[in-house]
Structures are given as C-alpha cells and as structure tokens.
Amino acid sequence: TTHTETQTDTDNQTMHHVIDSLNKRPTAVRKDLVQLFQKVYEGFKRHDEGFKGHYQ
C-alpha cells in the first residue's frame, strides 16, 4: 500500500470512531454534528481524490 492509502485507512477509522462517539450524544446535537462532519469529510475526500489524480 502507498502512504496515501494507509493514511486514508487511518482517516476512515478515525471518522468511524468520531461518528460512533457522536452517535452516543443527544439526537438533535448528533444529527447536526454528523451532517457537518459528513460534509467536511466528503469535501476532504473530493480534495484528496483531486490531489491524487493531479499527481498520477
């Protein structure tokens, strides 16, 4: 695996951990936070894929 793939795996595990801990919070807060996190995460993924594509 490349460094980037390993980093992505680590990031994914971190995201799952964060979402799991958010899921234990009160519902209203959780929904907002999870949505915010998913938006941020999707933005990072898109940026990462663009970055990878640029350097291949």
Q: pLDDT tens across 32-46, in order? A: 888 888 898 888 888
Task: Provide the whole-model pTM.
Answer: 0.36
- For residue 48, pLDDT beyond 80: no
Buried/exposed code over 1-39 (b: 16+ C-beta within 10 A; e: otherwise): eeeeeeebeeeeeebeeeeeebeeeeeeeeeebeeeeee
CA distance 41 to 56: 22
Q: Which two tokens stand for residue 5?
A: 């793939």
Phi, psi of 26 (to 5 degrees): -55, 145
